[in-house]
Structure 1
């Protein structure tokens, strides 16, 4: 009998910045503070942040969704470690951008690791 096991995914570790954003559930690194573009986005669960790039996330299927700024082609993004939905990705912009929703229940830590929760 053969046992099938799930292979562990290698995670990117962000050490080039003193402030990072991570998954609130498993603490996997998601983005450096230097990649933060804007904090003035609004998601279905509250405040959301716009990033230039993120790591350790998977992407769901693209779909058209009516957002506050109109109809956009977006795909949900999730933590590759714990599979928690984190936000969404714009699919057809000139430069790809990522939205991570802010978790209002999480506490700030000395290392700046906070934020990011489900859509």
Structure 2
């Protein structure tokens, strides 16, 4: 970032925004940068974070901070939930058949 490193806090205003954007994206591969049309602020999309700054130099500093934090932080591992064991399903309750008692040897 030759131009950005040499420019003062306000001299970046006289540089081409497309050139600054290209320099930012070249300095930080995978980062998308742009100058907001309505806000006049510089923006960058760093992985899944949106970063905003007043000047390109501040934006570069903030992008470095975000990348340093993301590299240093170990990935968050969520605790596994214990598997819920469902009891075996029972068939509908069936009444046992009635047994008929047969008297052997006749009636009494």
Per the TM superposition, whether the score is higher than 0.5 is: no
Looking at secondary structure, tell me which structure has more helix per residue.
2
Looking at secondary structure, tell me which structure has more strand per residue.
1
* Bigger Rg, structure 1 or 2: 2
Report which structure shows greater RCO (CA 8 Å, sep ≥6): 1
Q: What TM-score comes out, normalization by structure 2 length?
A: 0.28
Q: What TM-score comes out, normalization by structure 1 length?
A: 0.26
